[in-house]
Structure 1
Amino acid sequence: MTRPGPTTRARIRELSGRAVRERRDDLATEEPMEIRLHGADGTRKTVAITMRTPGHDFELAAGFLHGEGLAGAADIASIAYCTDEDLAPEERYNTVTVRLRGPVPDLPALERHFVTSSACGVCGSAGLDRLHERCDPLPPGGPPISPEVLYGLPDALRAGQGVFGKTGGLHAAGLFAADGTRLAVREDVGRHNAVDKLVGWSAMAGRLPLAGHLLMVSGRASYEIMQKALAAGVPVVCAVSAPSSLAVDLAREFGLTLVGFLRGERCNVYAGHERILVE
């Protein structure tokens, strides 16, 4: 069985004016991934099926579980690809089993079905009032960020996007220190998956919560991305494109700094402007 990679080769026909040529092209791979929970009491449940780019799958599972309040790093005994005999060989690298140290949490209480897409993330998300039940607002203050650090983030993120350079078809999320030092970059066809992979990397490395860090995303800032940042304790979220209205509401209510349209030496600060040193 061949393990799927982040890129897939395809034959295409390229047109330039009226000139035509046949060539190969690299596409961003998109395949489903099922996340299964196995409780210490023998309970087994599927909690998510998401369309993702293969790679860093265990981080994706760990980050998703952390962001949804289902399991933290200390709750996870092991993460592995599924080897159940009921799966076809080509499906085994698309199924991840997370074994918990305790029982599987109560899934119906989450008021949603975890079937996600690479385009828009989990649908039917709980409102801000519901979010207060499992996340506290971030404390005020630090890290102080200079505009020069902000202006350098898009290029630093782009420099870490190795698969995007081949395909032009992936989102990215980058974790940075307050001085702009790039710590990690993750890519995926889904912007929310890229953030989950980054949070999962942080959780598995014992870095959570991410106070004093910045999150930079290659697309827009959605409510779901802000929710994941809040759960990970990231105080500053920056995006190349615009935020949604609910993303701004979440940032203001929970004390996050939200920067959008970060391009060149320009940006809009939608919330938490006190962390940006402009004087």
Structure 2
Amino acid sequence: MRLCDLPDPSMTLPPSLVETVARDAVGTRMDTVPEEVPVALSYNGISHAVMLASPADLEDFALGFSLSEGILADASELYELELEISNQGVVVQMRIAQARFAELKNRRRAMAGRTGCGLCGVESLDQVARALAPLSAGPVIAAASLHRALGQLQKKQPLHASTGGVHAAAWADTSGNLLAVREDVGRHNALDKLIGALTKAPYDPACGFALVTSRASFEMVQKAAGVGIPILAAVSAPTGYAIRLAQEVGLTLAGFVRQDRYTVYSTPERIES
């Protein structure tokens, strides 16, 4: 199937279906809402995960998910990728290296992912935290780079501009210039799409930073660290579990990034104020 066969990532509702209430005033108007579709990720013919995602950049999503979840160690281990689109959703058929497929079967994970779900389908507690190598020293950026990237981000979120209901994950160089942006109804999905896009570009994950429009959860930190991203900045708060993991692997985690402030929760030496 071709990418143009995917449904539109947003849907416009006619005024007859939308009622708006504000301060006792009732009216009707056109409205645009984000779409989400079931996306099944299949490896060597066996379905591994079903996630709800925005129907855009699904090739990036599948590759990024495979890397950030540790299914693949390198993009070269993905041999083929094909989208199968039906009325029920999308199946992403991937053919991967046999050694990786054998490891995947041993993990025995079968996930049914709801929107924004982080650890759906993990079968036991010992599967939550994967072993991650400590990050290298990485770059040192100026605080102005965080603010510069944030200032550019709003103009690079067309789906959010039309619907107001999706997250974005962006990649910036050390000067704060945005090089890639991906959007999705799920914050984890947006980050996976970004990771896939970085791999295909290719950009070196160690030579810049990621900016997300959501809170920084444990899995967001795990995904970033797993592919070698040294700095993760979020416009909202981090969780305590995310902070502990960031400190453990040496990832710089910043939260509450605004044009006039930010808070660093781990490895602050990579950001110069």
Name the Cα RMSD after superposition: 2.2
Give the structure 2 partner of residue 229 of structure 1: 224
Equivalent residue letter for 1:74 = S
- Preserved CA contact (<8 Å) 2:60 2:196: yes
Q: 1:179 to 1:127 in 2, by over 3 A?
A: farther
Give the structure 1 partner of residue 79 of structure 2: 77
2:118 maps to 1:121: yes
Give the structure 2 partner of residue 33 of structure 1: 39
The structural deviation recorded for 1:129 is: 9.3
Once the two structures are superposed, residues 48-89 of structure 1 have per-residue CA deviations (whole angstroms, 9 ceiling, x without a partner) of 100111100111011111111112310111211127xxxxx3
Q: 1:17 to 1:264 in 2, by over 3 A?
A: same
Equivalent residue letter for 2:149 = L
Equivalent residue letter for 1:51 = L
Written as runs of structure 1 = structure 2, the 5 A alignment for 1:14-29 is 14-29=20-35
Q: 2:207 aligns with which of 195, 206, 212?
A: 212
Equivalent residue letter for 2:265 = Y
Equivalent residue letter for 2:188 = H
The structural deviation recorded for 1:147 is: 1.3
Name the CA distance, whole Å, in 2 between partners of 1:20 and 1:114.
42
- Preserved CA contact (<8 Å) 1:70 1:105: no
Give the structure 2 partner of residue 41 of structure 1: none
Name the CA distance, whole Å, in 2 between partners of 1:195 and 1:203.
12
Name the CA distance, whole Å, in 1 between partners of 2:6 and 2:47.
22
Between 58-67 and 142-151, the greater mean CA deviation after superposition: 142-151
Q: 2:198 aligns with which of 199, 202, 220?
A: 202
2:58 maps to 1:57: yes
The structural deviation recorded for 1:109 is: 4.0
The structural deviation recorded for 1:253 is: 0.6
Name the CA distance, whole Å, in 1 between partners of 2:83 and 2:232.
32
Written as runs of structure 1 = structure 2, the 5 A alignment for 1:121-160 is 121-123=118-120, 124=122, 130-132=129-131, 135-140=132-137, 142-160=138-156
Name the CA distance, whole Å, in 2 between partners of 1:99 and 1:27.
34
Name the CA distance, whole Å, in 2 between partners of 1:95 and 1:59.
14
- Preserved CA contact (<8 Å) 1:5 1:29: yes
Name the CA distance, whole Å, in 2 between partners of 1:12 and 1:129.
41
- Preserved CA contact (<8 Å) 1:30 1:51: yes
Name the CA distance, whole Å, in 1 between partners of 2:127 and 2:109.
15
The TM-score, its normalising length taken from structure 1, stands at 0.87
Name the CA distance, whole Å, in 1 between partners of 2:127 and 2:179.
30
Written as runs of structure 1 = structure 2, the 5 A alignment for 1:70-109 is 70-71=71-72, 72-82=74-84, 89-91=86-88, 94-102=90-98, 104-107=101-104, 109=106
- Preserved CA contact (<8 Å) 1:128 1:250: no
Q: 2:250 aligns with which of 250, 255, 258?
A: 255
- For the residue of structure 1 that corresponds to 2:87, the secondary structure is helix
Name the CA distance, whole Å, in 2 between partners of 1:225 and 1:191.
8
Name the CA distance, whole Å, in 1 between partners of 2:212 and 2:54.
16
Between 142-151 and 46-55, the greater mean CA deviation after superposition: 142-151
The structural deviation recorded for 1:130 is: 4.9
Name the CA distance, whole Å, in 2 between partners of 1:175 and 1:131.
24
Equivalent residue letter for 2:201 = A
